[in-house]
Structure 1
C-alpha cells in the first residue's frame, strides 16, 4: 500500500503539470519536496487518497496559514493555542473525512510541521533562507471493515473547521481507477 500511495504523485504528474500551467504562483520560491504537486499557495491544500482493499490512506499537505492562520513559529499564548487546536483537530481524522459508511478505524496518524516542534523537519534550513512558509503534513491510514460501502470522501467538516482552506486538490486511486479533482467548501465531496 505504501508503494501505491508514494507512486500516486508520479502517476498523476501529467495532471499536476497541466494544473500548474493554469494557476499562477503567489510566491517567489518553491518547496522542492512538493514541486511535483505544485507550489505553496495560501488557501490551497493537496490530498492524496489511495483505497486498496480494506486499507485507505490519506496524505494531506497544506500551508500552515490554511490551518492555523499563520506560518511563523508560535511564540504568543494565542498562537500556541491555535497550533494546539489545529493539531487536536487533525488528530481526529474520522470526523474530518466523514468515513462512517466504511466502518473505518484510524490505525495510523502522523502529523509533521515545524509548528508542532518537529526538530528534524526537512524544511528547517529552507525556512531560514526563504522566509517562513511552514507547511503541515498529515498522513492517515485506516482499516475499513466495509470498504465497499465507501462511496465518497466528504471534506465538508475539514473546510468548516479550517475556513482559510479555499480549495483542496485531490488525487485519488480507488477501485474505479485514478482521478483528480478540486474540492471547495461549495463542492466538498468526491465519489470513489
Structure 2
C-alpha cells in the first residue's frame, strides 16, 4: 500500500514536467513560479489509500491556505497562527472526519514545512535558499482501522471549516472500489470510498 501512496505523485509528474517545459524558467520566481500549478493558493492536494485495515492520507497545501501567509513567522501573531495550525493538523481523526465506528487509530502522523523549522524544499543542492516565498505544509497520516467496512464516504468538510482559505482539494483516492480523482469544494465535501 505504501508503494501505491508513493506512486501517486509520480502519476502527476509527466503533466508537471510538460507544463514546466512551457515556461522559460530563468530563476525569476515571481508570477512565473506561481503559475506552475504545483502551488496554487486556495488549492490543496490530498492522496488517500484504503487497503485492508490500513488508511493513509498525504495532505499538501500552500501555507497561505493554512495560516494566511508563507513567510517565516516573526511576529507573535504569526507564530501563534503557525502553532495553532500545527496543533490542528496533528488531530487527523477530526481533520478527516473519520467515523468513530470505524475505530481507526493513528499509527503515524508526520508534518513538515519550512514554517515549522524544516529545511525549505526550494533550497538548491548547495543549500542556498532562493529569493521567493512559496512555503507549503505537508502532512502524512497513517491509520489502522478495526472496522474499515464502516468507511463508505470520505467527508472533508472539516478541512474547509478549519482552514477556510482552502477553496478546493484535488483528491486522488485508491480504495477497494478502485482508483478515482476529484476536485472537492466546501459546498460538496464528500467522496465515496
Give the shorter-chain TM-score range: 0.7 to 0.9
After TM superposition, the score normalised by the length of structure 1 is 0.85
Q: Is the 8 A contact 1:29 1:130 kept in 2?
A: no
Aligned residue number for residue 106 of structure 1: 106
Q: 1:145 to 1:115 in 2, by over 3 A?
A: same
Number of residue pairs the alignment of both structures matches:
178
Contact 1:59 1:139 in 2 (8 A): yes
Shift of 1:9: 2.7
Q: Return the offset for 1:11.
A: 4.2
What is the CA–CA distance in structure 2 between the aligned matches of 1:116 and 1:12, rounded to whole Å?
Answer: 26
Tell me the distance in 2 between the aligned counterparts of 1:168 and 1:161. Answer: 14
Counterpart of 2:130 in 1: which secondary structure? helix
Cα-to-partner distance string for 1:9-50 (whole Å, 9 max, x where unaligned): 334668x67xx7xxxxx941179xxx7xx4200000000001
TM-score by length of 2: 0.84
Residues 36-91 of structure 1 show CA distances to partners (whole Å, capped at 9, x for unaligned) of xx420000000000111100110000000000000000000000000000000000
Mapped to 1, the partners of 2:111 and 2:51 lie a distance apart of: 22
Q: Report which of the two has the higher share of helix.
A: 1
Give the alignment's Cα RMSD to 1 decimal: 2.3
1:154 corresponds to which residue? 155
Residues 117/55 of structure 1: CA separation in 2 closer, same or farther (3 Å cut): same
Partner of 2:2: 2
Structure-2 change in CA distance of 1:103 and 1:42 (3 Å) = same
Once residues 110 and 128 of structure 2 are traced to their aligned partners in structure 1, the CA distance between those partners, rounded to angstroms, is 22
| Equivalent residues of 1:12, 1:171 under 8 A apart | no
Q: Tell me, which stretches of 5 or more residues in structure 2 are unaligned?
A: 20-29
Task: Tell me the equivalent position of 1:23.
Answer: none
- Write the mapping of 1:1-192 to structure 2, written as runs, cut at 5 A: 1-11=1-11, 27-29=31-33, 38-100=37-99, 101-118=101-118, 120-125=119-124, 128-192=129-193
When structure 1 is superposed on structure 2, of 122-131 and 65-74 the one drifting more is 122-131
Gaps of 5+ in 1: 21-25
